[in-house]
């Protein structure tokens, strides 16, 4: 495409995005399409001849938009948020336009050095001490995978340079709570530990890992000749934002020589507000840490922040050093290809830079505090209303609740009833909730944190829940 | 950022990108900066208060652009190309503006279904039969890692569901050539095979894997009680674009029950030209295959295409199924979170869609053919010139050469001489070459394939090489 056409279509697309964002609140938050609806709008064969991109925004309106679930919608209360602030959209545009590769320092020094600077800004914003060094990964799944690979190689004295996991005589074991995100299990399995060597430790009535059970499991594994390797502390679990006992886990990590990884994918963003840092008291004992600015902070997916206390170890796990990747600056600079799984790297640091320059730390703090207050508002409504139960502590921006009609005690009935409420709310188009099962009980999980969501939207959701409970 | 500001800055940035692309050819292709030059332009602390993004393009000019190595420059002959066509830049903008998550079908049906459609278009363009199903990964490193994980779980009858690699009594072994990309070694190590169980098989004088040595290694491993698990065929190696004997490897794969993965990261794009398909004759025997449209095709980084013959197996290796990810459509649709390592997914399929709609298959073919012809032109110059040696067959768009001054035979002297030539060419700012060592010999590696590179640029590079050889 020539630059003249790009200018014309680029302006058109920028305007289309602005209009989309302006009217997003009027669109149904969850796509109402049925499977196959998008596919049938596209030809089954690739275009032989180029048609140009005139009509681009028409295609987006016709083929794409009906099939979009609007993650930046004010009525998005599903999963965890995935905010894509418009400052970050500009950064993605700049990144694509530059088309630079950040695999080595020399392949675009700015990509590496801006990342170094903004990841250190982020470290400071979070109140982390200078022992931590940050690098951008794509997702928390990948970051946690990197952490378990680092733990594996640390416990095995770099077994990968010899016989790998296949030569380990005493199995290495990974520990997390039964509320840990599925990515922990996935990472442990992909890293070769095997499900038999993953311990999902029971949780207390706040849904936090029980230290006594963790220590007992460690001792049992040691007694059986297995080797405790890594533990993952969830600071803000996915279901309820439960907070594992990080200080106690840090002590066990030190006592038994076990790698401590902290999964604060969602909650980490809140740590830019000092009053939230009680949640990860003891964080200085962690060996590695992940949080996702692409969730609540607004940098746009994907930008997962991985912090490590031992970058040299990470590099040793991840690096290969073929001649075709050597540059004159090796040894003086960071080559970020050696800090993760992929070789190539986009210039994602621009997203964090643009966002921070635009809003400043104080701007981000104000939005986080708004969301925390909105969650407390909803919690108060649930507690005050008859027939509603709060299902977990409200530590962060997620409120777990359910409706219990008078006289109904059977869990299957309650499950069906609450799923019916959720279905009715979702069908209304203004709000989107996703289901969660908490220790066998069906809950309604309200995750607040879309940048567009104001108190009035939370009020609207609460009214919709009350109406749905009365109607089903 | 409000939409009014976004419109204004978005238009400004679109124009800035257009101007950048127009004047790129006049910029030094390799960034001339020294380590630390970018860092010192940025404050060491994050901005406390938001400043807005007025002056955005000024920041890009001042802080970023001098630190960019211009991968879309007509004088870019380094590594392999990483083309970012402007149609793809628009797609990245649309993707960021939509801010949609493609982890599950329901989280944005269009993201999943457009990907299904365009990956099937790509399959047809490449001449692959319908037994292959495609999915987008970030990079070839990750795709090859997925392939080795699938091979591992296939050979171990899903050992990850039990004791993992730690419980495998007879080691699983991976085979590739000594010219395989470093990502194969990295993937084998990260997947837990261990370096002792990776065989880098010797290559012939065309730098292609020797089948006789491969079969001997397999037999030795079997005799020693080890289990051959996976082999990786390089169709177009990184150093010289050598072509491994795929048909023969397919036979060995079938005879010995070994997973066959094909790394055609660069060469795969050429297969949209039927006359190039001799390179991967036998591809129908592959179990998995990677090619990177973000290299030569123009989709912009990252878009790596992973094809598998057994999607159900891939899903079983990669999936976890927690309650908070269930949706009503499970079972009827693809949930692409289960097709790779990360949970979240960007809407990358837009890049392939926009590019194909704009240029059509014929437009892409014409550009590929131009580059192949330019490589043959350069090859002819090298062969005709005195004192220059062609160091490998020119199968694709990469020409490996060196200058041998009269009477110089010592390899160390030749290494220093050719590195001096390269240094002089790179310092000139018009061209960028990266070094490669081929079986102990320093080569000059000319990788053609930037979309902006015309024959006149290759002519210019050849003249610069001649001048540098005369001057050093």
pLDDT class of A447 with cuts at 50, 70, 90: very high
Please indicate whether, in this complex, the C-beta atoms of B320 and A186 are within 8 angstroms of each other.
yes
Tens of pLDDT, residues B421-466? 999 999 999 999 998 999 999 999 999 999 999 999 999 999 999 9
Same domain, B257 and B300: yes
Please indicate whether, in this complex, the C-beta atoms of A68 and B98 are within 8 angstroms of each other.
yes
* Interchain CB contacts (distance < 8 Å): A and B: 524
Among B338, B155, B161, B154, CA closest to A193: B161
Residue at B283 is within a domain: yes
Give chain A's mean pLDDT: 97
CATH of the domain at B19: 1.20.1340.10
Tens of pLDDT, residues B160-197? 999 999 988 899 999 999 999 999 999 999 999 999 99
Please indicate whether, in this complex, the C-beta atoms of B60 and A94 are within 8 angstroms of each other.
yes
DSSP H stretches of helix in A239-340: 246-256, 311-318
Single pTM value for the model: 0.97
Same domain, A61 and A154: no
Report whether pLDDT(A470) > 80.
yes
Report whether pLDDT(A292) > 90.
yes
Report whether pLDDT(B394) > 90.
yes
Question: CA of A368, closest CA in chain B: separation in Å?
Answer: 15
Single residue among B321, B355, B389 that ends a domain in this structure: B355
Query: What's the rounded mean pLDDT across residues A62-78?
Result: 98
Same domain, B55 and B101: no
Report whether pLDDT(B136) > 90.
yes
Neighbouring C-beta atoms of residue B419, cutoff 10 Å: 14
Q: How far apart (Å, rounded) are the C-alpha atoms in residues A237 and A184?
A: 12
Same domain, B121 and B198: yes
Q: How far apart (Å, rounded) are the C-alpha atoms in residues A347 and A427?
A: 39
Which pLDDT value is given to residue B435? 84
Ramachandran area for residue A126 (φ above 0: left; ψ -120 to 50: alpha; else beta): alpha
Q: How far apart (Å, rounded) are the C-alpha atoms in residues B388 and B403?
A: 5
Contacts of A436 in chain B (CB under 8 A): 323-324
Question: CA of B12, closest CA in chain A: separation in Å?
Answer: 9
Cis bond leading into A302, ω under 30°?
Answer: yes
Same domain, B47 and B176: no
Please indicate whether, in this complex, the C-beta atoms of B166 and A168 are within 8 angstroms of each other.
yes
Q: How far apart (Å, rounded) are the C-alpha atoms in residues B71 and B27?
A: 12
Q: Which residues pair with B443 in a beta bridge?
A: B436
Same domain, B161 and B267: yes
Which residues in A299-419 belong to E strands, given as ranges? 304-308, 388-390, 398-403
Please indicate whether, in this complex, the C-beta atoms of A10 and B53 are within 8 angstroms of each other.
no
Considering only the beta carbons, identify the residue of A18, A83, A99 that sits closest to B72: A99
Q: What is the DSSP letter of A238?
A: T
Report whether pLDDT(B402) > 90.
yes
With an 8 Å Cβ cutoff, is A127 touching chain B?
A: no
Name the domain count of chain B: 2
CATH of the domain at A173: 3.40.640.10
Among B325, B329, B349, CA closest to B103: B325
Neighbouring C-beta atoms of residue B429, cutoff 10 Å: 14
**Residue A368 contacts residue A273 (beta carbons within 8 Å):** yes
Among chain A residues, the shortest Cα distance to B167 is held by A166
What CA–CA distances, in Å, run from A208 to A201, A244, A284, B409?
10, 5, 20, 70
SS3 A45: coil
Report whether pLDDT(B321) > 80.
no
Report whether pLDDT(A326) > 80.
no
Please indicate whether, in this complex, the C-beta atoms of A189 and B161 are within 8 angstroms of each other.
yes
With an 8 Å Cβ cutoff, is B464 touching chain A?
A: no
**Residue A303 contacts residue A137 (beta carbons within 8 Å):** no
Among chain B residues, the shortest Cα distance to A52 is held by B358
pLDDT class of B382 with cuts at 50, 70, 90: very high
**Residue A96 contacts residue A300 (beta carbons within 8 Å):** no
Among B332, B340, B353, CA closest to A33: B332
Beta strand pairing status for A388-390 and B133-137? Answer: unpaired
Could you identify the residue written with the tokens 């997914």? B345
Residue at B373 is within a domain: no
- Annotate A13-27 with three-state secondary structure: HHHHHHHHHHHHHHC
Which pLDDT value is given to residue A330? 79
B183 class by beta-carbon count within 10 Å (0-12 exposed, 13-18 middle, 19+ buried): buried
Query: What's the rounded mean pLDDT across residues B41-67?
Result: 97
Task: Provide the sign of the torsion angle of the four alpha carbons A56, A139, A208, A119, taken in this order.
Answer: negative
Question: What residues of chain B, 225 to 244, have a C-beta less than 8 Å from chain A?
Answer: 238-239
Which pLDDT value is given to residue A336? 96
Quote the domain boundaries for residue B161: 95-355
> Which of A34, A44, A164, A228 should be substituted to probe chain B, the one whose Cβ sees the most B Cβ atoms within 10 Å?
A164
**Residue B78 contacts residue A104 (beta carbons within 8 Å):** no
Same domain, A60 and A120: no
Tokens of A413: 């009935």
Please indicate whether, in this complex, the C-beta atoms of A42 and B117 are within 8 angstroms of each other.
yes
**CB under 8 Å to A168, separation ≥6 — which residues?**
A156, A159, B166
Among chain A residues, the shortest Cα distance to B9 is held by A90
**What are the φ and ψ backbone dihedral angles of A167, each rounded to 5 degrees?**
-105, 0
**Residue A356 contacts residue B47 (beta carbons within 8 Å):** yes
Report whether pLDDT(B315) > 90.
yes
**Residue A69 contacts residue B100 (beta carbons within 8 Å):** yes
Which pLDDT value is given to residue B329? 82
Single residue among A355, A384, A409 that ends a domain in this structure: A355
Interior/surface letters B148-160, b for 16+ CB within 10 angstroms, e for the rest:
bbbbbbbbbeebb
Residue at A280 is within a domain: yes
Among A314, A347, A291, A136, CA closest to B38: A347
**CB under 8 Å to A330, separation ≥6 — which residues?**
none
**Residue B399 contacts residue B458 (beta carbons within 8 Å):** no
Considering only the beta carbons, identify the residue of A59, A96, A322 that sits closest to B182: A322
Single residue among A355, A389, A418 that ends a domain in this structure: A355
Residue at B131 is within a domain: yes
Please indicate whether, in this complex, the C-beta atoms of B14 and A2 are within 8 angstroms of each other.
no
Residue at B421 is within a domain: no
Considering only the beta carbons, identify the residue of B50, B113, B435 that sits closest to A358: B50
Give chain B's mean pLDDT: 97
**CB under 8 Å to B376, separation ≥6 — which residues?**
B394
Please indicate whether, in this complex, the C-beta atoms of B50 and A171 are within 8 angstroms of each other.
no
Residue at B458 is within a domain: no
State how far Cα A291 lies from the chain centre: 7
Report whether pLDDT(A348) > 80.
yes
Please indicate whether, in this complex, the C-beta atoms of A191 and B192 are within 8 angstroms of each other.
yes
pLDDT class of A320 with cuts at 50, 70, 90: confident
Question: CA of B84, closest CA in chain A: separation in Å?
Answer: 6
Contacts of A437 in chain B (CB under 8 A): 323
Please indicate whether, in this complex, the C-beta atoms of B14 and A6 are within 8 angstroms of each other.
yes
Please indicate whether, in this complex, the C-beta atoms of A109 and B67 are within 8 angstroms of each other.
yes
Same domain, B40 and B107: no
pLDDT class of B325 with cuts at 50, 70, 90: confident
Q: How far apart (Å, rounded) are the C-alpha atoms in residues B354 and B333?
A: 24
Report whether pLDDT(B324) > 80.
no
DSSP, residue by residue, A265-292: TTGGGGGGSGGGGGGGTTGGG-SEEEE-
Same domain, A155 and A289: yes
Considering only the beta carbons, identify the residue of B164, B172, B197 that sits closest to A194: B164
With an 8 Å Cβ cutoff, is A366 touching chain B?
A: no
Q: Which residues pair with B403 in a beta bridge?
A: B388
Among A342, A6, A48, CA closest to B292: A342
Q: How far apart (Å, rounded) are the C-alpha atoms in residues B465 and B457?
A: 12
Report whether pLDDT(A329) > 90.
no
Which pLDDT value is given to residue A168? 83
Same domain, B245 and B209: yes
With an 8 Å Cβ cutoff, is A440 touching chain B?
A: no
Same domain, A167 and A49: no
SS3 A244: coil
DSSP, residue by residue, B23-75: HGGGS-SS--PPTTTTGGGS-SS--SS---STTHHHHIIIIIGGG---TTSTT
Residue at B38 is within a domain: yes
Tokens of B466: 């001649």
Residue at A168 is within a domain: yes
**Percent of all residues in chain A with a pLDDT value above 90, rounded to a whole number:** 96
State how far Cα A10 lies from the chain centre: 30
Q: How far apart (Å, rounded) are the C-alpha atoms in residues A197 and A175?
A: 9
pLDDT class of B328 with cuts at 50, 70, 90: confident
Same domain, B17 and B124: no
Contacts of A121 in chain B (CB under 8 A): 45-46
Radius of gyration in angstroms for the set of CA atoms belonging to chain B, rounded to a whole number: 24
């Amino acid at each position: 495409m020539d630059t003249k056409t790009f200018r014309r279509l680029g302006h058109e697309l920028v305007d289309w995005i602005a209009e989309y964002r302006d009217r997003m609140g009027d669109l149904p938050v969850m796509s109402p399409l049925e499977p196959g609806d998008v596919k049938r709008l596209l030809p089954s064969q690739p275009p032989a001849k180029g048609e140009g991109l005139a009509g681009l925004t028409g295609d987006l309106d016709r083929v794409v938009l009906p099939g979009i679930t609007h993650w930046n919608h004010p009525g998005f209360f599903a999963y965890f948020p995935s905010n894509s602030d418009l400052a970050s959209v500009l950064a993605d545009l700049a990144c694509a336009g530059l088309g630079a590769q950040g695999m080595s320092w020399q392949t675009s020094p700015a990509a590496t050095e801006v990342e170094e600077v903004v990841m250190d800004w982020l470290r400071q914003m979070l109140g982390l001490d200078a022992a931590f060094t940050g690098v951008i990964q794509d997702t928390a799944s990948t970051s946690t995978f990197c952490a378990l690979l680092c733990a594996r190689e640390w416990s095995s004295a770099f077994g990968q340079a010899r016989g790998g996991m296949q030569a380990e005589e005493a199995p290495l074991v990974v520990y997390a709570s039964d509320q840990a995100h599925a990515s922990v299990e996935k990472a442990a399995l992909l890293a070769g530990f095997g499900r038999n060597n993953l311990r999902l430790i029971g949780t207390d009535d706040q849904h936090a890992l029980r230290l006594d059970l963790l220590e007992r499991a460690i001792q049992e594994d040691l007694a059986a000749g297995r080797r405790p390797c890594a533990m993952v502390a969830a600071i803000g679990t996915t279901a309820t934002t439960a907070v594992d006992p990080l200080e106690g886990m840090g002590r066990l990590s030190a006592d038994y020589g076990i790698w401590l990884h902290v999964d604060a994918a969602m909650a980490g963003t809140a740590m830019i507000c000092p009053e939230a840092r009680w949640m990860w008291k003891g964080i200085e004992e962690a060996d590695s840490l992940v949080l996702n600015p692409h969730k609540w902070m607004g940098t746009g997916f994907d930008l997962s922040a991985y912090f490590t206390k031992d970058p040299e170890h990470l590099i040793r796990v991840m690096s290969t050093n073929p001649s075709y990747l050597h540059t004159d600056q090796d040894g003086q600079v960071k080559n970020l290809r050696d800090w993760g799984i992929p070789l190539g790297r986009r210039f994602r640091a621009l997203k964090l830079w643009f966002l921070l320059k635009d809003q400043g730390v104080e701007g981000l703090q104000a939005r986080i505090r708004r969301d925390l207050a909105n969650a407390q508002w909803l919690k108060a409504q649930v507690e005050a209303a008859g027939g509603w139960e709060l299902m977990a502590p409200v530590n962060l921006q997620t409120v777990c609740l359910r409706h219990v009609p008078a006289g109904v005690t059977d869990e299957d009935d309650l499950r069906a009833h609450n799923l019916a409420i959720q279905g009715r709310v979702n069908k209304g188009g203004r709000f989107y909730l996703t289901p969660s099962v908490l220790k066998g009980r069906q809950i309604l999980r309200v995750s607040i944190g879309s940048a567009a969501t104001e108190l009035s939207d939370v009020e609207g959701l609460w009214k919709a829940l009350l109406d749905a409970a009365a109607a089903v």
